[in-house]
Structure 1
Amino acid sequence: MDPAILGPIDAIFSPIIEPILLIGVVINLVTRHLAHRSHIRQNEEEKGSLKHFVFHEISNGVLIVFSLYYMTLHHHGGMVLSLMVLAMILADIFEFEARLVESRGGMEIELPKGSMVGSALVLVYILYIIILPAGPLDQFLTLIPI
């Protein structure tokens, strides 16, 4: 029996953390798209006055919390996932600053390509965790006599 680091929280979230992470990443992608549409609308109304999209910031925070929690359950996969999520959010911060520069300069607002690629990589890794839970080489390791 594995020790439960967080006790009752582990009893609730441990069996369903991977689907929660998948839903969180998909929601993050949707809120990223909505934030981009909001930034375009704000830029058309008034140049240089972009504001953060609150729902996207909340989804970023929830994704960080759940990825750090996943690290308490699966140390290696959780560390990789947490670093990917933090890199995605760091890219998101720099992309927002780039949108501010574009807005102040009177340029057209571009897509946040860097943070979209980061989100896609996090999504691919979450799908990898869900589809191949034991690891890709475990099926071959059982065939080798020890």
Structure 2
Amino acid sequence: MDPAILGPIDAIFSPIIEPILLIGVVINLVTRHLAHRSHIRQNEEEKGSLKRFVFHEISNGVLIVFSLYYMTLHHHGGMVLSLMVLAMILADIFEFEARLVESRGGMEIELPKGSMVGSALVLVYILYIIILPAGPLDQFLTLIPI
């Protein structure tokens, strides 16, 4: 048995971390959509005055904390996931700056395509972790030898 790095926190979150990550990514996608709608509305009201969507920033923070925690449980998968989440958040930062430039220039606000692709990749990777064997569903999957 592996030693628990974080003790009681591992006892609580270790069995349910993958579903928490999946829920976190889905919530992040929803808040990204709501943030985009909010930016469009802010741009229509006043040009050049976009503000960050607080719930999306909170979901980014929670997602990075849980992905870093996942790295303490599963080192390789956690490292890959943490890097993907950090890249997604970095893309999100640059996408917001691009929306500011569009708003100040009087252009139409575009979709945050880069951060949406990053979110989709993180979602696919978390689904990969959950669905394939050696994940929490391993007890339900049977591998047939060839």
Q: CA deviation at 1:60?
A: 0.1
Give runs of ≥4 in structure 1 deviating > 6 Å: 135-146
SS at match of 1:100: helix
Please give the residue correspondences for 1:53-92 in structure 2 after superposition, counting only pairs within 5 Å. Answer: 53-92=53-92
Amino-acid identity (%): 99
List alignment gaps of at least 5 residues for structure 1: none
Q: CA deviation at 1:144?
A: 12
Q: What is aligned with 2:32?
A: 32
TM-score (norm 2): 0.92
* Aligned-residue CA RMSD (Å): 3.2
Please give the residue correspondences for 1:43-122 in structure 2 after superposition, counting only pairs within 5 Å. Answer: 43-122=43-122
Q: CA deviation at 1:96?
A: 0.1
In the TM superposition, what whole-angstrom CA distance separates every residue of 1:51-99 from its partner, at most 9, and x where no partner exists? 0000000000000000000000000000000000000000000000000
In the TM superposition, what whole-angstrom CA distance separates every residue of 1:84-126 from its partner, at most 9, and x where no partner exists? 0000000000000000000000000000000000000000000
List alignment gaps of at least 5 residues for structure 2: none
- Distance change in 2, residues 1:31/1:139 (3 Å): closer
- Distance change in 2, residues 1:57/1:137 (3 Å): closer
Q: CA deviation at 1:135?
A: 7.8
- Distance change in 2, residues 1:68/1:137 (3 Å): closer
Is the 2:130–2:136 Cα contact (8 Å) retained in structure 1? no
Q: CA deviation at 1:133?
A: 3.7
